Structure 1
Amino acid sequence: MPSFPYKLITFDVTGTLLKPKSVFKTYADFAKRCGIQVEPTDLTNGFKMAFKTMDVNHPNFGLESGLGWRAWWSSVVKETFKNAVPEETGRIDSVANDLIEHYAKGSAWSMEPQSIDVLKSLKSTGAHLGVISNFDPRLHRILRENDLSEFFSFVLTSYEAKCTKPNVAIFRCAAEIFKQQSGVPLIGEEALHVGDNYDLDYMAARGAGWQSILVSSKGTNSTCKDCLVLKSLQELKEHLVK
């Protein structure tokens, strides 16, 4: 039997291992507790606009501009509601604080099917497992409360790495952590990154000299016909663990 080809396998989190539960319904429910009536569907466009604007003006959750991740998310929430219920701006501060705390909890996130099973199988190969995610420091608690932390040798958020995917620097940072933990340098072809985003995961890892796999329920990617795209984490397990 051939030896396992990877010494390090890293995962994206959002959309790959976990996803937030009913984001816009949750936003509307928290607003209702503060006496603000708004339909979840009225928040969708506002959130997308607010997130994109903040990401451009204050990259990496406000780290680069000095705003900080908590104020960054507070601004996203406020702008989301400002577009839907502009008359309620005075009461949104409380909603923003509550939502920031809510999404720090593991219970606010749902696990993708087979997450634990595939991580157990891959860990049994002897490979180091890690996380590379564009996220703020709350990710550590989220993974811990979803019983996922135990599988990873390290969890590297963009906020703590001071750079975001698709910057190859975050993959080099992960390789350095692996070297420190294992005592051996990492050759690019011995590293695999798994994620759901073509640019941020698949191509970013390739740019760092790593191998990469996309996991998408569609099983295809219109941007890259030659990409290895698997439909589920179960397929990932079957592909990697023979």
Structure 2
Amino acid sequence: MKLKLLTWDVKDTLLRLRLPVGQQYQAEAKSRGLQVDPTALEASFREVYRTHWRLFPNYGLSQGMTSHRWWLDVVSQTFRLSGIQDEKILQPLAERLYQDFSTAEYWEVLPGAREALQGCGELGLKMAVISNFDRRLEDILRLVGLDGHFDFVLTSERAGVAKPDVGIFHKALKLGDVLPQCAVHVGDNLVNDYKAARHAGMFSLLFQRRLMADVPSDHLIQSLDQLVPRLQGTMK
């Protein structure tokens, strides 16, 4: 197989939050004199996020929302569920957190990610991002120093379609000007990354530390330092 394009998921593949969402939200609330339990915030956030994504998928773009508005609603509702009801506090708090999560301070590069990107680039592969992220991603990648590795960054907001819909992979293949059989995708989610990319006709590798019964061992990487050797073996 002649690989030409390597696409990456970002969250929990290349980047991760420095602290859990509940702790980040609690710290900002505390700076405003509010006492909220971080565990409660974490649970509320997960519930609100799941519900909001189901009701307003892909940041509500097809329903006329912006990702900015979508996130302000998620953050505000997270605090409401955790006992904060004052709207005069909620709106500026949500806006502050939206801005905070746009900065490098809230994110860290996963161990081995920089080396993996460098090594993959040395293989002569064109690289890109396919992520269910919003418009802030390109700035975040620039701030953490990863942007220079990618020919393009395709977020679900930009694409107008989110993983696991194969449409976002087809858009990436078109942007990269490559056939599906000449592209490989790497990500940590079984459905959104591994299976979706394969449904789009691409090769894919799942980044997971634990073995999974329905994923062949040679399709699994348990640390990013395994990626370059795995690709070299595939390209022979």
- What TM-score do you get using the length of structure 1 for normalisation? 0.91
**What's the secondary structure of 1:193's corresponding residue?**
strand
Cα distance in 1 for partners of 2:115, 2:216 equals: 28
**What's the secondary structure of 2:204's corresponding residue?**
strand
- How far apart are 1:241 and its partner, in Å? 3.6
Partner of 1:10: 7
1:29-82 CA-partner distances (Å, limit 9, x unpaired): 001112211121111221111101110111111212111101100111111111
Question: Against the structure 1 CA distance between its residues 204 and 29, is the aligned structure 2 distance closer, same or farther, given a 3 Å change threshold?
Answer: same
1:189 to 173, 181, 191: 181
Partner amino acid for 1:5? K
Question: Against the structure 1 CA distance between its residues 226 and 241, is the aligned structure 2 distance closer, same or farther, given a 3 Å change threshold?
Answer: closer
Quick check: 1:81–1:89 contact (8 Å CA) kept in 2?
Answer: no
Partner amino acid for 1:177? L
1:213 aligns with 2:205: yes
Kindly tell me the number of residue pairs found equivalent between the two proteins. 231
Question: Runs of 5+ in structure 2 lacking a partner?
Answer: none
Partner of 1:183: none
Cα distance in 2 for partners of 1:129, 1:198 equals: 21
> Which is helix-richer, 1 or 2?
2
Percent same amino acid at aligned positions?
35
- How far apart are 1:88 and its partner, in Å? 4.0
- How far apart are 1:95 and its partner, in Å? 1.1
Partner amino acid for 2:231? L
1:232 aligns with 2:223: yes
Partner of 1:42: 40
Alignment of structure 1 residues 64-143 onto 2, 5 Å: 64-143=62-141
**What's the secondary structure of 1:85's corresponding residue?**
coil
**What's the secondary structure of 2:154's corresponding residue?**
strand
Quick check: 1:21–1:110 contact (8 Å CA) kept in 2?
Answer: yes
Partner of 2:176: 178
Question: Runs of 5+ in structure 1 lacking a partner?
Answer: 180-185
- How far apart are 1:90 and its partner, in Å? 3.6
Query: What value does the CA root-mean-square deviation take over the aligned residues?
Result: 1.4
Partner of 1:182: none
- What TM-score do you get using the length of structure 2 for normalisation? 0.94
Question: Against the structure 1 CA distance between its residues 221 and 89, is the aligned structure 2 distance closer, same or farther, given a 3 Å change threshold?
Answer: farther
- How far apart are 1:202 and its partner, in Å? 0.4
